[in-house]
């Protein structure tokens, strides 16, 4: 076999092309040819269906990957915004506590710089708030208010 013949892909006849070639023959021959051709047509149909199924599966996987990427981006941006908001809120509360404390309002300064800062920071940064944590903040604020009150 020459090199040129090896490089040229051989054309494989489809079932329809074979049927067209047999169309010139008498009906009996055509009937035999169609019976012999039916398995080939079934194989070609199954091949086309398998290819379409593979293409659909690839498209579905691509969509799933895009959805996962979009969800990951949303989750990341939500976490970053929570971190920034928690930092800004904590910094503002601590700055407010310093300003209020300098003016002599010790009770208000202790509320701004006490456990409420930790509770709000954990709410924004960790995205959770426990009942025990809420009760602890309330107890700490009550103790702070009681300690800051003038003696009777």
Yes or no: say if 130 and 115 are a contact pair by the CB < 8 Å rule.
Answer: no
In a domain, 4, yes or no: no
Query: Which residue from 130, 53, 29, 74 is spatially nearest to 37, judged by alpha carbons?
Result: 29
In a domain, 98, yes or no: yes
Give the domain range for residue 110: 13-148
In a domain, 58, yes or no: yes
Number of domains in the chain: 1
Q: What is the mean pLDDT of the chain?
A: 80
Question: How many other C-beta atoms are found inside a 10 Å radius of the C-beta of residue 140?
Answer: 17
3-state secondary structure at position 128: coil
In a domain, 2, yes or no: no
Phi, psi of 143 (to 5 degrees): -65, -40
Yes or no: say if 148 and 107 are a contact pair by the CB < 8 Å rule.
Answer: yes
In a domain, 47, yes or no: yes
Express each pLDDT in 63-110 by its tens digit.
999 999 999 999 999 989 988 988 898 899 899 999 998 998 887 887
Yes or no: say if 90 and 120 are a contact pair by the CB < 8 Å rule.
Answer: yes
Local confidence band at 8 (pLDDT 50, 70, 90 cut-offs): very low
Give the DSSP per-residue string, 52-88: HHHHHHHHHHHHHHHHHHHHHHHHHHHHHHHHHHHHH
In a domain, 131, yes or no: yes
In a domain, 7, yes or no: no
pLDDT recorded at residue 55: 96
% of the chain exceeding 90 in pLDDT: 29
In a domain, 51, yes or no: yes
């Amino acid at each position: 076999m020459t090199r040129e013949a090896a490089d040229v892909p051989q054309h494989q006849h489809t079932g329809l092309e074979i049927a067209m070639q047999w169309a010139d023959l008498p009906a009996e021959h055509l009937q035999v040819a169609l019976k012999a051709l039916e398995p080939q047509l079934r194989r070609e149909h199954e091949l086309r269906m398998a290819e379409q199924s593979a293409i659909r599966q690839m498209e579905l996987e691509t969509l799933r990957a895009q959805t996962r990427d979009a969800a990951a981006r949303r989750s990341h941006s939500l976490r970053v915004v929570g971190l920034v908001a928690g930092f800004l809120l904590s910094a503002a509360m601590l700055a407010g506590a310093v300003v209020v404390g300098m003016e002599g309002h010790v009770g208000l300064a202790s509320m701004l710089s006490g456990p409420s800062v930790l509770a709000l920071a954990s709410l924004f940064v960790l995205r959770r708030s426990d009942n025990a944590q809420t009760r602890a903040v309330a107890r700490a604020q009550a103790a702070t208010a009681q300690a800051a009150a003038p003696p009777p």
